[in-house]
Every structure is written in C-alpha cells, then in structure tokens.
Structure 1
Amino acid sequence: MQTVIAFIIIFGSLVFFHELGHFLFAKRAGIMVREFAIGMGPKIFGMTKGETLYTIRLLPLGGYVRMAGEDMDSVELQPGYRVGIILNEDDVAEKIYFNQSVTHPNIVFLEVERADLEKDLFIEGYDEEERFVRYKIARNAILVENGNEIMIAPVDRQFNSKTVGQRAMAIFAGPLFNFILAFFVLMALGMMRGVPASEPVIDSVMPNLPAAEAGIQAGDRVTSINGQPIERWNELSGIVQENPGKPLNFVVERDNQNIELVITPATVVENEQQFGQLGILRPIEQDPLKAVVFGATQTWDYTVLIVELLGKLITGQFSIDALSGPVGIYKATETVAQHGIFNLMNWAALLSINLGIMNLLPLPALDGGRLLFFGIEALRGKPIDRQKEGMVHFVGIVLLMILMVVVTWNDIQRFFF
C-alpha cells in the first residue's frame, strides 16, 4: 500500500505539473482550454469550472490539455438543421440545441440556412412561421448535442489562430514545468536534509572500511590523490569510484600538517558495474541560500546525466531492454520508498526531469515533435498542411504505443518471471 500511495502521488504530481504548464501558457495566450485531464481512457471523475472540464481518467499513462481548435474540435451547424435557440434579453443566442428534442419556455426553433460559430458569430434561417430571421451568437454560447454541452470557440480563442511563438510556448511550457518541479523538490530536499558541502573535508568515518583502516579521521581535508590536487568533494568521490581495488596515495591536512596515506578503495558491485568505496561521509550544511543553489545545480547535473544516457541509447551502447515503462517505474519506486522520504523526493525529481527531456525529443506526437513543426513553420513563413501534420503525429502515437507495449512486456518478464 505504501508503494501504491507513493507511486500515485509521484505520478500524479509529474503529470499535473506538466499539464499545468500547458494550461497556464495556453490561457495566457488567450486559448480556450476545453479539458485538463490527468490519466487517459475512461473518465472516473469530472468537474466543470468556467470553460474547462477537469477530469481524472482511469489509465495512468499521462494526461493532456485539450485546447480549442485542435484536432476535431470544431462544430458546424449545417443548412437544414433544426435547432432550438435560447435568447438573452438582447436577442443574442446563448444556448443552441440540435440533434435532440427539448422543451423550454423561452426557446425559439429555427431551420438553419447559414451559421458562423467562429468569426462573425451569427445564425440565420427560418422560424416556425416561415419567417427569415438572423440572430447574433454570444462569444460564450453553449451548443448542446444529444445532452452533451460544449462552448463555442471564436477563432481568436483557438490554438491555431495564435502566433508561432504563443503556440510554441504553450507546448514548451509542459516540459519546462517538469524542470521547475524538479528544482523545487530538490531545493526543498536541501532545506529539509541539508546541503552536502562541496569542500573535500571528512565529516565522519565508517568503521571496518578502507578509510578507517588507513587512519583517516573526521575533520581531515583531502588535498591531493596520486599527486592530483583535490579542491571539491566531487573530485574526491570521482577518483575513488573509478579505482576499485587500486591503491591510491592520499595527502590529507590535519591540524595544519600534511599526512600521507595509502588507501585501497573497496570494490562495490551495483547494476553489474564496479565502484570504489572508502567509507567516508561528507559534511551537511543547513543554509537556505545554499539549498536554492543545490536545487539548481542538482537539476542541471541530473539533466546532463539523462541526456548522456539517452545518447548512449541512441548510439547503441544501451539496448531497448534497459528502458522501463510504468511497471518498471512502479518497481523502482517500491525499492526507493523503502529508504525513506528523502530518497523518494530525489527519485521524484529525477523522474520529473526525465519526463521533461523525453517530451522534448523531436519525435511525432511528443511536445518536441510539435515544436519541430513550429520551427519549420517559422522558417517557411507559413504553416504545414494540418492534415499532413496530423497524420505524422498519428503515426507517431501508434509507434509510441507499440514501444510502450514492448517496454511494459520487458518489465513484466524482468520482475515477474
């Protein structure tokens, strides 16, 4: 149960902040957002507020922000439709019913001759007395079809009516918010747990490990290893990890004196790779300002790490078997959750950065693929044919679903067989 709760909170937070980025910048650009969804598939909860439907859906495979003017969003009133119209006190249409029977004390029935729900906002036709009439349509008018309500979207509220920059920012904001979320989680982690000091000073020494056996003491400052000057803790840990089982010549400063020690790092095997270990801990500092810096530097370091691993995957140094889907992430979350809230926060930040980077890949159906099309549009000075772009994204979605199935099957075989 602990793992389930942790997974739901982490997954929900990552998806929520990603979609929140899309939502806020779409609204900032004046785009109507029809739906803000967490999850995919059948709706299990829905609430309408303003012009947006907020939903939670069954399948934990992501989420989406549905903007007016995208895909098959438009609704047309064809000539010959018989509609019921509710007018306000200024004889402006506020609600239009079609494809259903309806009774209302103030309803006016009309056989449509022409209607424009996007630009000029009008509807005209013949009423029940065969008179030709024309009504204006309110910018926030509601269309009701078979009991389903949808607000009209004037052309200036639609996604495709906005500038390339506004559309690109609305799409880029999703991954951007994943990086922002990671920064705040890591900053909070630095404030709660403290920030590891950057200087190569030993805070404590673990018993029965190489450092203790060689005579390292708390408070010692490592100044060089094998003649290489050491100024930061990361330099110290990097050399130790890269030299398991190899004697290293240390120079440490203790009470204003330099002491030479030979230490052989113990060999630790993790994920079929060997690392050196001394058994020393670095000091932890409680400083809010350093926590902010820690959040930023860790976000950058994790970003670089994931990009490097992605590069190895593309060049064939990693196989597709190394990828994990929802099942693999769930099992990893189960392991991390056993080591406390701090490790879980670090894991959440890493996942958030990973989600941001994956979505920025220039592949169809991903945010990066859409940004690529916007870039081409900016260079050409005109948009690519919507149908062709839609077909490319559709093929991308199919390929991504196939990849998801393969990765999930690999996870199931790895963890359950």
Structure 2
Amino acid sequence: METALIAIGSLVPLLLILVVIHEAGHFFTARAMGVKVLEFGVGFPPRAFGVYTGNTPVLVDRATRFIGLSGPSELGRGQKVKVSSAEDSQGNLVARVIELSKKAVKGEPKDSEEERPGEKDLLKHEGKVRSAGDGSFILADMLYSVNWAPIGGFVRLAGEANPNVPRSLAGKGAGTRFLVLIAGPLMNAILPLFIFTVLLMIPQDVLVGRLAIAEVGEGTAAAEAQVQAGDIVLRANGTDIEDRLEFTRQINLNGGSRMDLLVERDGRELLLFVRPRFDTESARWLVGVIPRLDDSRIVSQSQPIYKAIPNSFVNTWDMLVLVKQAIGGSIGEGSSPEFSGPIGIAQVTGEITRDGGWYGWLGVAILLSINLAILNVLPIPMLDGGRIFFVVLEWVRRGKKIPAEKEGMVHLIGFALLIGGIVLVSVNDIGRLIDGRSFLG
C-alpha cells in the first residue's frame, strides 16, 4: 500500500505539471498568433470549477437572434451567455445568436436553440457579460478551468477543424498552425534545460576519489580490452572519472561503440579500448567490472549560471543519447524493448522517488519531459506530431489541404490504436506486478 501511494503521489503531480507546461506552449503561441483561445483546462472533465476572464468586445445588430432574452436591453453584468459570432470587414465580432445559459428557458420553443443553416461557421464562445451598452457588450469568454480527472490538461481553440470560423486555428496559414502545434513539444524540450540548470547551480555533496577496478569478469568486454584488477580509471572518452556515477554514465553513452579508457597501472598510464555490451536482464550497458572508490572524500559541487546553462544543453543531449542507447541495445540483442504504460511509469516513478528523493523525482521529470517532446513530434495520429504531419503535407502539396473529414478519420483511428496500445502495455505492467518483478530491471 505504501509503495502504491508513493507511486501515485509522485506520478500524478508530475504528469499534471508536464502536460500543463506542454499546453501552456500551445496557449501562449495561439494567443500571440491571433487564434481565439476558449479554454485552458487543468485536468480532464468533468469540470470542478472555472473562472471566466478576458474582455472581448461583441457588437449587436438587428440581425442578432436572442434566446432566453427579449433583446439587448436585458443583457446585464454577470449574466452567463452563449454567443455565436461572425466577423465583419473590420475584424469586429458581431453576435448572430445570444443565448442565456440556462438548462431550460421558459416560453422558448425547444427547436429555437437548434443550430440554423450557416451557423456552423460562427465562433461559438461562452462567458460572462462584463458590461453592456448600446449596440455592443464586453464578454469575459476565456475560461480557466480545473477538472476532476487530475492527469493532464488541454487547450480549447476556436475552429480547430473549420477554417471558416472567425479567429480559428484552421483559418490561419500553415506556418502559424505549425508554430502553434510545435510549441507544446518545444516547451517539453525546454523544461529539462531549466531543471538541469537549477540542479547544476545548487551545491551538492558528492563522494569522489580514485576509481579503481576491484574485479574483472571473465570473458567480458573489459577482459577482452585487457583491463586488469587494480587499474585506476583516469578518463573515459576524455572525461575525468572521479566517481562511479560518471563511469556508469560514460559506459551507457558509449554502449556498442569503442570507448577510450585511460587507466593507471603500476605508475604508468595506458590507453585501452573497451566496447560496452548490452545486458538484456538488467537492460543496461556493461563492461564487466566491479569498481571501488579509493581515497574517497565528500566535496560540494556547484556551477555558476554561465557554466550551468551550456552544461544543461550537454546533459539534455546526453539524456537523449541514453534513451536511444537503451532502445538500440534491446533491439541489437534481438529482443524487443519493454514499454511501460501508466501503471509501469507510476511504479518506476515511485521507486526512484523513494530511493532518490527530490533529485530522483526531478530526474524522472526530465526523462518524461524529453520523451513527451519526442512522442509529440512523431507523426502519430491524434497527437501534435500527427497534426504537424498534415501541415507539412499541406506545404508539400503547395497549400492544398487534406479535407478535414479525412484528417479527422485518421486521427480517430489513431486514437483508437493509441488507447489499445495503452491497454496492452498496462496488462503487461499488471503481469509484472503480479510476478513481483521491478520495472527498473
């Protein structure tokens, strides 16, 4: 029970933060590009509560149809209304339908609330009246909502599939739509840089010393490279080695390729060449040695900001390489990599948080954020990458769009396959839990 609580308590806020940051990228870029944003939601519906903000001017004319109101004179501050607006030649929003937001409006025929021909191309926005005057009113129609399902978030934009809707996403050029769609993954790519920068600037106590080889396994990569017990590891691929963590990191970064290993033996420096091998049982790259730390001491390490920022790029790139190496190692050994669903990710997050505390939790945040960025630029239907693919296809076709119905069908099929895949890996995760196997190998 304690493990489950740690897993849930560490993963839920983490996913919430990562997805909200992702959606914030879409939100701010859409607003900057003139796309009407209708809602920024934290979590998924049903809605717990929401706050309407904004100051959208809306004109009223003789063609405006009222539902639940006798006319513009009944518009009052604080009223919640649903508005369907067109756009005039000057770019002003003009209300075509104003409906008082009530479950039932007495004395109004039911069919009067049905959409009339031509109204599907109107901007459908809802909010609270801030003020009303002659021929116009101000509507707070930007909704910030908090929803009951705490994993995830969303941004609702006007006309995502209908280019005829005023201030719609679909009505913008391919370049604008590309920027709005890529902004989410870009935020997930930037987050690790920020976290790494902060972590590098915070003083940390690190155990360092002279890394000695205590034992070399028979028939291992280290044995073939003539590494011997008692060797002192000085550098790996040009990087100074003063602790076990950096040594392991260099092995993983250079998995499957030649790694230069500078060692000290009997007072002499020797350059050896080791090729790490992938171990399928532990899902790690190994050279087959047991290291020990001699002359160890604790030192406080931190970096000034002018060093931390460029090194955050290096660390983020190294993390990308580690992900690629882990997947490539599994495939290279003839086995398929084991993917984890929400259950497996929660278990891993809980184990790492329990053992590594805040630093472990932030490490998982970095890894998941990078994976979200990668996942959302791949051409997977329903995700950002799938929608970006159709924008790129439009460029290739010199501005000729794929019909919205066909694109929608592709995304629908992709969504069904995505849900099916999540179910399959979740079943596998449950099997691992029943067998008592750790997701960390």
**TM-score normalized by the length of structure 1:** 0.65
Corresponding residue number in structure 1 for 2:380: 363
Equivalent residue in structure 2 for 1:184, among 185, 194, 214:
194
Corresponding residue number in structure 1 for 2:347: 331
Residues 83 and 112 in structure 1, CA contact (< 8 A), matched pair in contact too: no
Query: What do residues 115-155 of structure 1 show as CA deviations (whole Å, max 9, x unaligned)?
Result: 7686799xxxxxxxxxxxxx97768598xxxxxxx999893
Corresponding residue number in structure 2 for 1:391: 409
Query: What do residues 171-197 of structure 1 show as CA deviations (whole Å, max 9, x unaligned)?
Result: 11111111111111122221225599x
Amino acid at match of 2:22: H
- Per the TM alignment, residue 401 of structure 1 is displaced from its structure 2 partner at its CA by 0.5
Task: Report the CA distance shift for 1:367/1:239 in structure 2 as closer, same or farther (over 3 A).
Answer: closer
* Separation (CA, whole Å) in 2 of partners of 1:364 and 1:342: 34
Corresponding residue number in structure 2 for 1:147: none
> What stretches of structure 2 of length at least 5 have no aligned partner?
56-63, 76-93, 125-133, 142-155, 217-227, 436-441
Residues 80 and 113 in structure 1, CA contact (< 8 A), matched pair in contact too: no
Task: Report the CA distance shift for 1:388/1:344 in structure 2 as closer, same or farther (over 3 A).
Answer: same
Residues 157 and 168 in structure 2, CA contact (< 8 A), matched pair in contact too: no
* Separation (CA, whole Å) in 1 of partners of 2:365 and 2:215: 33
Residues 182 and 349 in structure 1, CA contact (< 8 A), matched pair in contact too: yes
Corresponding residue number in structure 1 for 2:85: none
Task: Report the CA distance shift for 1:115/1:328 in structure 2 as closer, same or farther (over 3 A).
Answer: closer
Residues 251 and 259 in structure 1, CA contact (< 8 A), matched pair in contact too: yes
Amino acid at match of 1:409: V
Residues 83 and 111 in structure 1, CA contact (< 8 A), matched pair in contact too: no
Corresponding residue number in structure 2 for 1:296: 313
* Separation (CA, whole Å) in 2 of partners of 1:87 and 1:141: 17
Residues 81 and 111 in structure 1, CA contact (< 8 A), matched pair in contact too: no
* Separation (CA, whole Å) in 2 of partners of 1:95 and 1:399: 40
* Separation (CA, whole Å) in 2 of partners of 1:208 and 1:392: 55
* Separation (CA, whole Å) in 2 of partners of 1:14 and 1:190: 21
Task: Report the CA distance shift for 1:331/1:383 in structure 2 as closer, same or farther (over 3 A).
Answer: same
Corresponding residue number in structure 2 for 1:127: none
Amino acid at match of 2:318: D
- Per the TM alignment, residue 13 of structure 1 is displaced from its structure 2 partner at its CA by 1.2
* Separation (CA, whole Å) in 2 of partners of 1:384 and 1:117: 20
Task: Report the CA distance shift for 1:302/1:273 in structure 2 as closer, same or farther (over 3 A).
Answer: closer
- Per the TM alignment, residue 304 of structure 1 is displaced from its structure 2 partner at its CA by 3.3
Task: Report the CA distance shift for 1:308/1:326 in structure 2 as closer, same or farther (over 3 A).
Answer: same
Superposition pairs of residues 113-132 of structure 1, within 5 angstroms: none
* Separation (CA, whole Å) in 2 of partners of 1:374 and 1:398: 22
Residues 84 and 110 in structure 1, CA contact (< 8 A), matched pair in contact too: no
Number of aligned positions between the proteins = 345
- Per the TM alignment, residue 294 of structure 1 is displaced from its structure 2 partner at its CA by 2.4
Whether 1:340 and 2:357 are equivalent positions in the alignment is: yes
Equivalent residue in structure 2 for 1:232, among 239, 245, 249:
239
Corresponding residue number in structure 2 for 1:87: 72
Corresponding residue number in structure 2 for 1:56: none
**TM-score normalized by the length of structure 2:** 0.62
Corresponding residue number in structure 1 for 2:172: 162
Secondary structure, in 3 states, of the residue corresponding to 1:156?
Answer: coil
- Per the TM alignment, residue 156 of structure 1 is displaced from its structure 2 partner at its CA by 3.4
Secondary structure, in 3 states, of the residue corresponding to 1:158?
Answer: coil
Corresponding residue number in structure 1 for 2:282: 271
Query: What do residues 3-43 of structure 1 show as CA deviations (whole Å, max 9, x unaligned)?
Result: 43222221111111111111111111122222223343533
Equivalent residue in structure 1 for 2:35, among 27, 31, 36:
31
- Identity, % of aligned pairs? 28
Taking only aligned residues, the RMSD between alpha carbons, in angstroms, comes to: 5.1
Superposition pairs of residues 201-216 of structure 1, within 5 angstroms: 203-205=208-210, 209-210=214-215, 214=230, 216=232
Task: Report the CA distance shift for 1:151/1:259 in structure 2 as closer, same or farther (over 3 A).
Answer: closer
